Amino acid sequence: MGEMAKNVLENSLAYPADRRIRVHVKLPFLVAGFILAVTPVLAAWTWWLLFGLPEMAASPRLIEPSASDPSGFPVWLRLAHFVNLLMMVLLIRSGLSILMDHPRLYWNDHCTLDSEWIRFTPVIVDRNTVWTAKDDSRYISPWIGLPGFRHTIGIARHWHFLSAFFWLANGLIFVAFLFFTNQWKRLVPTDLSIFTDAWKVMVHYATFNLPVEPDGFYRYNPLQQLSYFGIVFVVAPVSVLTGLAMSPAIDNWAGWYPRLFGGRQAARSIHFLAVCGYLAFLVPHVGMVVITGFAQNMNHIIFGTDDTSPGGLVVFFTAVAGIIAICWAAHWISWQRPRWVQVGFRRILGPFQRQLLNRLPSRRQYTRADISPYFWPNGKMPHDPEWEKLGNLRRQGFKLKIFGQVKNPVELGIDELQRLGRREQITLHHCIQGWSGVAQWGGITLVQLIELVKPLPEVKAVVFHSFGDGHYGGEYYDTLTLENANHPETLLAWEMNDKPLTDLHGAPLRLRVENQLGYKMVKWIKSVEFVVSEKEVGKGYGGKNEDDEYYPVVANI
């Protein structure tokens, strides 16, 4: 495909004619959310109408004042506050781009059509049509998402994980300093009476009778303290832990872990709700900062001083402009220098993926009762004349070519592969777009083929060539490290759910590698090649999606 034709195709996919976004919440969840949001407000108004405003001291008690109480905001806290704001902006924006690649959230791991509790798309999928997960991706404006547009999940995930890395590092430093100093007293409750005191403040806020606020330079009111404690010590850890629960390497190594949250998809939903929690905190937080003395509060958190000079406001609005400039720069880099993002991610987090996650054994098995009633299809159906000439289902006449840097290159038909041995496994598929599904797979392990063809000592990667095309044209292929190919659950499958593979799901052969995301699991495989490095194939980044859509070469998180 010529460069001009490729650009036209990319533009048509990134800028679709249908850019509608619709938020549809199923009625039971909409009602439950409404009740959770309204009940505290109604309870506060009821209290006020029946008993009047609760009595409060001029400065509500948090802890007994003493010489050891925190006074002011040290420089480390002020810096951590700014870094947290910047990283959260990048995290939320990139997270929205990721969400739009599969704009549906579920409480079950099967992701069956119409089982989502919320969707951000007007599309209702017809079960009688072939509608792939790629088709289901939606456009999101780059004013909202990073990098925005459509089919940009590769770059979005790089931004998301890089931001998460620095956000987590910043948070750990913040918490460490919090407890090495007396600043922990600002956030950590030490008296159960804080709950009754916080309720009194809630009644005042909900009924628009603002109480006299303590000076935030020294202490917060009880409701503020509980809110900060919840964000720092509850919502933030939940965000991290649910993010890890979506890793195929972790899920298939420790099956108990995603079950702590109700499963992988429940973890994804909770991860989204945690973002909603941040925003629900941010709006009243900023509102109260403005209402209770904007200039003074800005001086608190920027200069560490307790006065009303305008300097804090000037720096604040300059910092906001700086964050906007950083967001613009991130957008420019994403579209003008996307390889920088891809390579940066690989260099910073790649060693962690290869040295830790890649070495976790895949051992989680499901039962036939767990098999999903629906398994999302994906990828572009082959139009290769060689594939179209093959027979139905088992593809009679097909020969798998195994070649490259091996001592014993071979060509084997399905029957010959079956005679070499068969492994069966029932596992959970993790798509990079976000959906999942359980299926039974039958096939031959790569370990058996590796023993047969005997790769040369310098071989470090295995290439799987497909009859299918990439999203932007050209032969689809992907690679595995030799280490991943040697996982006992890595196999070439000719069977799905006790039946021969269908055309839609990858006949005659497809790859299964359970510690990786789904795009590594090449469908419609025609040949397997052993090479010294993935850099020898395609554009040298490890696969068709890695070449054209900037996906990571290692996909275990």
Task: Give pLDDT tens digits for 125-151.
Answer: 988 888 999 999 999 999 999 999 999
> What is the pLDDT at residue 426?
96
Which element (helix H / strand E) includes 44?
Answer: helix 27-51
Q: Above pLDDT 90, what percent of the chain? A: 80
Would the pLDDT of 64 be above 60?
no
Would the pLDDT of 61 be above 50?
no
Task: Give pLDDT tens digits for 152-191.
Answer: 999 999 999 999 999 999 999 999 999 999 999 989 998 8
Mean pLDDT of 251-265: 95
Mean pLDDT of 192-206: 92
> What is the pLDDT at residue 362?
82
Q: Which amino acid is at 415?
A: D
Phi, then psi, of 84 in degrees rounded to 5: -60, -45
- Residue 185 CB-half CA count within 13 A: 19
Task: Give pLDDT tens digits for 329-339.
Answer: 999 999 999 99
Mean pLDDT of 102-130: 95
pTM exceeds 0.85 for this model? yes
Would the pLDDT of 89 be above 50?
yes
> What is the pLDDT at residue 58?
52
Would the pLDDT of 81 be above 50?
yes
Residue 393: band (very low, low, confident or very high) from pLDDT cuts 50, 70, 90: low
Q: Report all structural domains of the chain as residue ranges with CATH numbers, in order of start.
A: 20-57+71-120+131-355 (no CATH), 362-548 (3.90.420.10)
Which element (helix H / strand E) includes 342?
Answer: helix 338-355
Would the pLDDT of 67 be above 70?
no
> What is the pLDDT at residue 358?
86
Q: Is the peptide bond preceding residue 214 cis, with omega within 30 degrees of 0? A: no
Q: Which amino acid is at 117?
A: W
CA distance linking residue 517 with residue 112, whole number of Å: 19
Mean pLDDT of the chain: 92
CA dihedral 224, 228, 229, 234 (to 10 degrees): 130
Per DSSP (E only), the strands in 293-392 are none
Tokens for 430, please give them: 């993790």
Task: Give pLDDT tens digits for 208-239.
Answer: 988 888 888 888 889 999 999 999 999 999 99
Comparing 19-23, 58-62, 259-263, 311-315, the range with the smallest average pLDDT is: 58-62
Nearest to 147 by CA among 87, 90, 86, 83: 90
